[in-house]
A and B are shown apart, each in its own frame.
Chain A
Amino acid sequence: MTMKAFEYASPSTLDLALKALAAPSSEALSGGTDLLCRMKDDVAAPERLVYLKDVKDLAGVKGSAAEGVTIGAGTLLASVVASEAVKASYPALWQTTLEVGTPQIRNMATVGGNLLQRPRCWYFRNGFGLLAMQEGKSLVRLGDNRYHSIFMTDGDALFTSPSSLAVPLIALGATATIVGPNGERTLPVEDLYRAPRTDKQRELTIEPGEILTKVTIPPAKGKNASYEIRAKQSHDWPIVLASVNLTLEGETVSAAKIMLYGVAPIPWRSAAAEQALIGKKLSVETAEDAGKAAVKNAQPLSMNQFKVSLTTTAVKRALLTAGGMKYWEA
């Protein structure tokens, strides 16, 4: 409830932004739909905010279905939804973006901000730290973990990765470009994330002083889709979301990438589901098998067993959405 005083910089070029971010305890501010809330809740207290929306080069969707699409990190979610290229080639991304927040949020929030937002774990948001350990014990394990992870739960990071856009972007093989004091580097979107081992580590690999500038999605081949499960129709977070990207040879799935949101502290790739599907013809049965394979090694916590069923369903329905077989709408 108490937002600490901070310096505010509003640079108009990337170079100036990098300079402004070089000061200790600086944070990049874009749409502010996450950072400002964390500041008001006293979960974050940066000494300097560097506002990036005046760096006009950071915004915009470029490219086409044939050559692939580059989305500036400063692009509004509403602009992604408005992009014909995204809608036509990457329905997995388009649908997921459309389902983020509310129109008001999509008109403020940016792609970069969505990818780099911090976990929604209610222990973290209530000030108990990212791993929420107290006297060597996990508050999450002891407490209400209905919205926490079902994979990687032998570790201490039990929150779920909060970016729903990361899931389709990784499924689509997107890369992220980061600039920093030492120049530019490009990495797969999945490498933006890690499961922290200590409370001092962040779940994001981007270093202080660096700026995410864009994501680049290779040309779409085959079929891609997302399926999101949420309690409310209006403003709500996904409980589980699956994004799939399939390469088909005839009717046979020759390659598959299956990503999940809401099940692990990182965007979760389900190699088991992919393996279950590859070499098979996509059908309700094979999709169901892939969904079941996805949860074979799930280790739910005390209150989130239901996410295991949701994961099976989300994988199955994302696959069948890609395949144009929405059996549940029959």
Chain B
Amino acid sequence: MASWPEHPRLIGTRIPRVDGMAKASGRAKYPSDVRPEGMLFGVMLYSPHAHAKITSIDTTAAEKMPGVKAVEVIAKAGATLRYQGDDIAAVAAETEEQARDAIAAIKVVYEVLPHVVTEAASMADGAPKIVNTGNVRKGRAITKGNVNDAFKKADATIEGTYSAPVITHVCLETHGLTAKWDDKDHITAYASTQAVGPTAAELAGTFNIPFTNVTVLTEVMGGGFGSKFGADLWGRTAAQLAQKAGAPVKMFLDRVQEHLAAGNRPSASGTVKMGATKDGRLVAMEAHTHGTGGVRGGAGFPLPYVYDVPAASRTHDDVMVNCGGARAMRAPGHPQGCILMEAAMDDLAEKLGMDPIDFRIKNLAPNDFHTPIYLGELAIGAEAIGWKENRKPRGQGGKGPIKKGFGVALHQWGGGGTQDKQVTCIINPDGSVELKSGTQDIGTGARTILAVIAAEILGLEVGQIKSNIGNSTFPTGQPSGGSTTSPSMAPPCYSAVTAARDALFAKVAPALGVQPADLDVKGGKVLVKGEPKLTWAEACRKLGTMPISELGKFQPGLASGGVGGCQFAEVEVDVETGVVRVKKIVAVQDSGLILDLLTWESQVYGGVIGGLNYGLFEERIMDPTTGVMLNADMEMYKLAGASDIPEIIVKAYDPPEQKARGVIGVGEPPTISTAAAIGNAVSNAIGVRVPVWPMSPRNVLNALAAAATEGKA
């Protein structure tokens, strides 16, 4: 078993990301910034209709337009388009304007078919059947214990209906790539992807050329969140257009199609009935849920979630609608499950008259490894938000119209790595050190943490390590998804660097007349039995002309998986306007051994901000009549700006036993429970449950009005 240094010099400290200055200054070239010589602009034509059949398509006029070099038809006559944004054709031209003009000149005759774009319409009696197998696909039913009997033991029972809308990824850099044929069977693609290897494989498969003939480059990229795992149809089309035109083609989606076709997080709704004994022990849950992931399904989510529910029964319907398909989005399913579970937990705690934290603690599974973690984290979080001093019982948020409230929610995630990834470490005779791996940095700091590991082991500074990733021809690296990158890449990096260091020792030891085991590195020096003898550069010079190159693979003992985490929200809700202002979020997160505290915190901030958007603002709004998305922009699709961001307190939960677990990913967990905690804080503030996310003025005022009608408020 390998192990990380017991008293690290760099690991776990705050180290600025190695490409931070380049990104902040605009010097970093994103894939969509790259413009190879002779590059053409590609533009996609996509369906204006939610459901239609192509009667005919004529590209003759488009092909004759000025500047047009290639046209590709994707959906031929007879093809069915299943959502607004579904791909039809593409054009490559010398300028983007020419390409757009040519797209407009493609003559398509549509037979418009009946559509459904809302779940209600899809599930309604007599709804047009949009999928051969039916509009509703039954999800896996869960039955645990005898729910009816168990409910008889309940002293308090709540039944609530909760829902969260479809949201989209809104990657700042839209999906796409620039494809360049180096010769008749070699492609270089500058891709905005979170998986250079799979993207290369997809292109290789499309053109029936060897994997190694494709080079996918992703030096940096502008966000993926789970939606950028391949070349995609538009990326493959770019390569086809480039082949036809004999020139590189850049194809990045416009913002509208990015919303429509590049993935989304499915909605989630359901009724949750849950009961507990008067001492606060859950006895049973019954839930009927549904959600939509568009035309392909995929709207499942975990429920029950986090807590130990002795008896549970759940049904789930995956509802098909004529909307772009869901893609993985930062902790797929978990934010939805967290909202439904944690809202019900809070409502039941309220009914029992229990403190929400006490109620949660009572229902953590006794033998689950998460439980002691949650206990530690809840204590830290409650302290940081001032739960005891500040939180009042539900509905006592203050006398004036602006009510203060506090909420909490728990989450969990796997976040373990794979064991088949590789890193090469090269030590050059001039003393420079280079790492190579075919992983990429989706924004988490992957490039930096590899350099941190190498600098730690080699006794160098982080800036002395060249960390080369984002190239599919490098040793196989991990796709950036599922919070798996760090735990997959840290062990082979450790192995590669350790092996390279040992190889250097083996070369240098004879020259010094000592045994390799006598050597060590520290502070840029090579030590013999603890005494500095050579500088790093002097030692490396003894390599002669050829560098050391060592390929590192997985070793056990360095990485793990499985995290908890909790978040607290403090909000102010104006009950006369429905406006919710989040004042503070406290995020307490475990993730084993933290490699770089600064990039780690940055991921937690990013997760919280994403969760805040989900909690307050985001919603894909579809028009039932025309089937189009009404807010496929960044104006009416609302996202927080700087002044909407509250104070965010990030606390790492990393006692020694956590550090001992090794590296665990943190990309996903910190975004899961933010929206649920905000919703609970809103209910605590105003005294009524707002059952519909996001916590918009409309949803808040509607909940208050409904409660007033029922005489509750």
CB atoms of A330 and B400 under 8 A apart: yes
Interface flags for A290-330 (1: CB within 8 Å of B; 0: not) read 00000000000001111001101100110000000001101
Chain A 232-251: CB-based contact to B (< 8 A → 1; otherwise 0): 11111001000000000000
Cβ B630 vs Cβ A310 within 8 A: no
Contacts of B61 in A (CB 8 A): none
B658 to A: closest C-beta gap in Å: 37
Query: A327 CA to B103 CA in the complex, in Å?
Result: 57
* Cβ contacts under 8 Å, A327 to chain B: 400-401
> In the assembly, what is the distance between CA of A234 and CA of B643, in Å?
5
Contacts of A229 in B (CB 8 A): 577, 579, 697
Cα-based distance from A3 to B705 in the complex (angstroms): 45
Stretch of A75-83, A140-148, A153-161, A269-277 with 4 or more beta carbons under 8 angstroms from chain B = A140-148
B residues 599-640 near A (Cβ < 8 Å) are: 616-617, 621-626, 628, 630-631, 636, 638, 640
Q: Specify which of A142, A144, A235 is in contact with B630 (CB 8 Å cutoff).
A: A144
* Interface assignment of A134: CB less than 8 Å from any CB of chain B: yes
Stretch in A15-23, A84-92, A121-129 touching the partner:
A121-129
Contact A305 B705 (CB under 8 A): yes
28 A-B interface contacts by CB (under 8 A): A1-B254, A3-B97, A102-B641, A120-B636, A122-B621, A123-B623, A126-B623, A128-B626, A137-B625, A143-B630, A231-B579, A231-B616, A231-B617, A231-B696, A231-B697, A232-B617, A232-B641, A233-B641, A235-B641, A236-B638, A303-B698, A309-B701, A309-B705, A310-B577, A310-B578, A310-B697, A313-B576, A330-B400
Q: How far is the CA of A120 from the CA of B616 in the complex (A)?
A: 22
A2 at the interface (CB under 8 A from B): yes
**CB neighbours of B578 from chain A (8 A):** 306, 309-310
When distances are taken between beta carbons in the complex, the residues of chain A under 8 Å from B576 are 309, 312-313, 316-317, 328
**Number of residue pairs spanning A and B whose beta carbons lie under 8 angstroms apart:** 100
Q: Per-residue 0/1 for A193-237: is the Cβ within 8 Å of any B Cβ (1 yes, 0 no)? A: 000000000000000000000000000000000000111111110
Does A139 interact with chain B (Cβ within 8 Å)?
yes
Check if A122 sits within 8 Å of B636, measured CB to CB: yes
Check A234–B400 contact: CB distance below 8 A: no
Q: How far is the CB of B106 from chain A (nearest CB, A)?
A: 12
Which listed residue, A144, A305, A309, touches B621 by the CB 8 Å rule? Answer: A144
Interface: B689 (CB within 8 A):
no
Within 8 A of A (CB), among B663-707: 696-698, 701-702, 705
Q: B579 touching A143 by the CB < 8 A rule?
A: no
A134 touches B626 (CB 8 A): yes
**Which residues of A sit under 8 angstroms from B347, Cβ to Cβ?**
none
Among candidates B616, B624, B641, B698, residue contacting A142 with C-beta atoms closer than 8 Å: B624
Q: How far is B578's CA from A239's CA once the two chains are assembled, in angstroms?
A: 11
Is B636 within 8 A of A1, CB to CB? no
With both chains docked as a complex, state the minimum distance between the C-beta of B60 and any C-beta of chain A, in angstroms: 19
User: Which of B256, B581, B702 lies in contact with A306, CB distance below 8 A?
Assistant: B702
Taking CB atoms, residues of chain A closer than 8 Å to B705 are 305-306, 309
Q: Given A139-B623, A328-B576, are A310 and B641 also a contact pair (CB < 8 Å)?
A: no
Beta-carbon contacts of A1-34 to B below 8 Å, as 1s and 0s?
A: 1110000000000000000000000000000000
Q: Which residue of B lies closest to A232 (CB)?
A: B644
**Cβ contacts under 8 Å, A233 to chain B:** 581, 641, 643-644
With contacts A232-B644, A310-B701 known, is A328 near B621, CB below 8 A? no
The DSSP consensus for interface residues of chain A is: loop
Task: Please give, as numbers and ranges, the residues of chain A lying within 8 Å of B642 by CB-CB distance.
Answer: 234
Give the chain B neighbours of A303 by CB distance below 8 A. Answer: 698
Given contacts A1-B100, A126-B630, A309-B701, contact A234 B401 (CB under 8 A): no
Q: Which of A128, A143, A230, A312 has the most CB of B within 10 A?
A: A143
Find out whether the CB atom of A143 lies under 8 angstroms from the CB atom of B103.
no
Contact B625–A134 (Cβ < 8 Å): yes
A145 to chain B minimum Cβ distance, whole angstroms, is 10
B697 touches A234 (CB 8 A): no
Please give me the residue from chain B that is nearest to A122 by CB atom: B630
A interface residues (Cβ-Cβ under 8 A, vs B): 1-3, 102, 120, 122-123, 126, 128, 134, 137, 139, 142-144, 146-147, 229-236, 239, 303-306, 309-310, 312-313, 316-317, 327-328, 330
For residue A144, give the distance in angstroms from its CB to the closest CB of chain B: 5
Is B276 close to A, CB under 8 A? no
For the complex with contacts A134-B625, A305-B702, 12 further pairs of A-B residues with Cβ separation under 8 Å are: A2-B100, A122-B621, A126-B628, A139-B623, A146-B698, A231-B638, A232-B644, A306-B701, A313-B577, A328-B401, A328-B574, A330-B400
Residues of chain B within 8 A (CB-CB) of A230 are 579
Q: Which residues of B contact A102 (CB under 8 A)?
A: 641
CB proximity of A197 to chain B, nearest CB, Å = 22
CB of B101 within 8 A of chain A?
A: yes
Closest to B699 in A: A306
Instruction: Find out whether the CB atom of B103 lies under 8 angstroms from the CB atom of A232.
Output: no
CB distance from A42 to the nearest CB of B (A): 9
Inside 8 A of B172's CB, which chain A residues have their CB?
A: none
Q: Which of A134, A306, A317, A330 gathers the greatest number of chain B CB atoms within 10 Å?
A: A306
**Closest approach, in angstroms, between the C-beta of B633 and any C-beta of chain A?**
8
Interface presence of B34 (CB below 8 A): no
A2 and B630: CB pair below 8 A?
no
Structural contact, B577 and A2, CB atoms closer than 8 A: no
Residue in B closest to A330 when the chains form the complex, CB atoms: B400
Cα–Cα, bound, A232→B400 (Å): 21
Distance to closest chain A CB from B401 (angstroms) = 5
CB distance from A140 to the nearest CB of B (A): 10
| A230, B698: Cα distance in complex, Å | 11
Contact (A234, B641) CB under 8 Å given A229-B579, A328-B400:
yes
Interface centre among A1, A3, A142 (most CB of B within 10 A): A1
A127 to chain B, nearest CB (A): 9
**Smallest distance from the beta carbon of A141 to chain B beta carbons, Å?**
10
CA distance A161 to B579 in the complex (A): 22
Q: Does B39 sit at the interface, judged by CB under 8 A?
A: no
State the CA gap A232–B635 with chains docked (Å).
11
A102 to B635: give the CA distance in the assembly, Å: 12
- Please, which residues of chain B bring their CB within 8 A of the CB of A126? 623, 626, 628, 630
In the assembled complex, how far is the CB of residue B117 from the closest CB belonging to chain A, in whole angstroms? 10
Query: In the complex, A330→B701 CA distance in Å?
Result: 22
If the complex has contacts A232-B638, A234-B641, A309-B701, are A144 and B100 also in contact, measured as CB distance less than 8 A? no
Which among B101, B256, B617, B697 has the highest number of chain A CB atoms within 10 Å? B697
The yes or no answer to B402 lying at the interface (CB within 8 A) is yes
> Which residue of A has the minimal Cβ distance to B633?
A125
B640–A2 touching, CB < 8 Å = no
Minimum distance in angstroms from B535 CB to a CB of chain A = 51
A327 to B575, CA, bound (A): 13
A316 to B574, CA, bound (A): 14
Which 7 A-B residue pairs are closest in the complex by CB-CB distance?
A: A234-B641, A233-B643, A306-B701, A122-B630, A313-B576, A234-B643, A306-B698
Which A residues lie within 8 Å of B577 (CB)? 229, 310, 313
Q: Does B104 contact A (CB under 8 A)?
A: yes
* A142 to B, closest residue via Cβ: B625
